[in-house]
Amino acid sequence: MLSKAYKKQRRQALLILLPSVMITVIFVIYPTIRTLILSFQRWNGVANATREWVGLSNYLSVLTSKKFWNAMLNSLYFTIGGFVILMPVAFLLAMLVTSQMKFTGFFKTMYLLPVMLGTTAVGLMWTFILNSKFGVLAQFLTSVGLSKYIIDWLSTPTVNIWCVVLVNEWMYAGYNMLIFAAGLVAIPADIHDACKIDGCKGIKKLIHVTIPLCKNMFMVFSVLCITGCLKAFDIVWAMTRGGPMGHSSTPAILLYTEGFQFKLMGRSSAIGIILLTLGLVLSVTLNHTIFKTDDNL
């Protein structure tokens, strides 16, 4: 028999968990199930319109669409930019702000300023900077005699997506700096003292001590980077709206345009389920790989 005290504690625990469970069910589980069902239907988004069951037709249409694979390629560009540019820059900034240098508080605020501005403000600011006629970059190139390199950066295919990627890395460098800084300050002082005694410093200390001890932070960054790149929308929409002709589109923009511009709610839902599945698979695989590595150490 369960004691009255235990039953009371269990009731209290259930009452505490109830709000979070209800929020998860209402805003996560229920919409996901509705989206999954809708992905097998043809519907134009009108409340009283007939919903026709089409099976896997929406998935086949999406997976055989050139627009979808172009959007996935752009997500890959975001991922490459995240790991090749953003990760090392954010880690170096974290090392700077956690060092013994003066004015680190000022630099930390400055590095965080871009992400504090908001995506729309950053997108509009860089749209003006990259304007080929009156933008700051065009004016600078003209002043140093390099006007022949001026192009319409945000309207030229293959160039515009990399412009957006670089702006995205610039914007989120400060945010990811905090992630790595949390890992750096968590390294025990005894380890730093031991490194000094053993003469381990500079690059040697960075490779053999600092980076391995910050591996969990790299894992967090990797998960956030991959999932963030799959759902990249706001910065792209603010700068190029996925143009020209969809060349800078991302899966999230394709999901939006298919559903709310072309009224293809079934296809839009199929894209959402594909992105959800891909994000879960990549995140679980990454976590499993890292934890398996930890077990082998």
What is the helix (H) or strand (E) element at residue 249, kind and residue range?
none
Q: Does residue 94 form part of some domain?
A: yes
Per the model's pLDDT, the better-predicted residue between 198 and 16 turns out to be: 16
Where would I find the H helices in 186-264? 189-198, 202-205, 211-213, 215-230, 234-239, 251-256
| Structural domain includes residue 30 | no
Structural domain count of the chain: 1
Q: Are 247 and 158 in contact (CB under 8 A)?
A: yes
User: DSSP letters of 47-100?
Assistant: TTSPPEE-TTHHHHHHHT-HHHHHHHHHHHHHHHHIIIIIHHHHHHHHHHHTSS
What is the total residue count of the chain? 297
Is the pLDDT confidence value at 64 over 80?
Answer: yes
CATH number, domain containing residue 177? 1.10.3720.10
- Both tokens of 16, joined, read 């505490």
Say if 81 falls within a structural domain.
yes
* Token pair listed for 96: 């700077």
Quick one: pLDDT band at residue 295, thresholds 50, 70, 90? low
Summarize the confidence of residues 70-82 as an average pLDDT: 94
Contacts of 152 (CB under 8 A, 6+ apart): 132
- The answer to the question of residue 15 being in a domain is no
Q: What is the pLDDT of residue 290?
A: 67
Report pLDDT for 209.
84
Tell me: pLDDT of 1 over 60: no
| Window from 143-147, 179-183, 289-293 with minimum mean pLDDT | 289-293
Mean pLDDT, rounded, for 11-39: 91
Tell the residue number behind the tokens 């694979």, with chain if given: 69
Report yes or no on 24 lying in a domain.
no
Reported as a single tens digit per residue, the pLDDT across 191-230 is 877 888 877 888 888 888 888 888 888 888 988 999 899 9
Average predicted confidence (pLDDT) for the chain: 88
Half-sphere exposure of 227 (CA within 13 A, CB side): 15
DSSP string, 132-180: TTT-HHHHHHHHTT-GGG---TTTSTTTHHHHHHHHHHHHHHHHHHHHH
Please report where in the chains the tokens 């060092």 appear, as a residue.
99
In a domain, 77, yes or no: yes
Mean of pLDDT values over 41-59: 89
pLDDT at 293: 58
pLDDT for the residue numbered 158:
83
* Whole-angstrom distance, CA of residue 116 vs CA of residue 114: 5
pLDDT number for residue 2: 57
Q: Is 26 a domain residue?
A: no
> Which phi and psi (to 5°) does residue 52 adopt?
-100, 130
245 DSSP assignment: T
3 pLDDT more than 90 = no
| pLDDT value at residue 294 | 57
Ranking 28-32, 103-107, 215-219, 264-268 by mean pLDDT, the lowest is 103-107
The answer to the question of residue 287 being in a domain is yes
Domain extent at residue 100 = 64-296
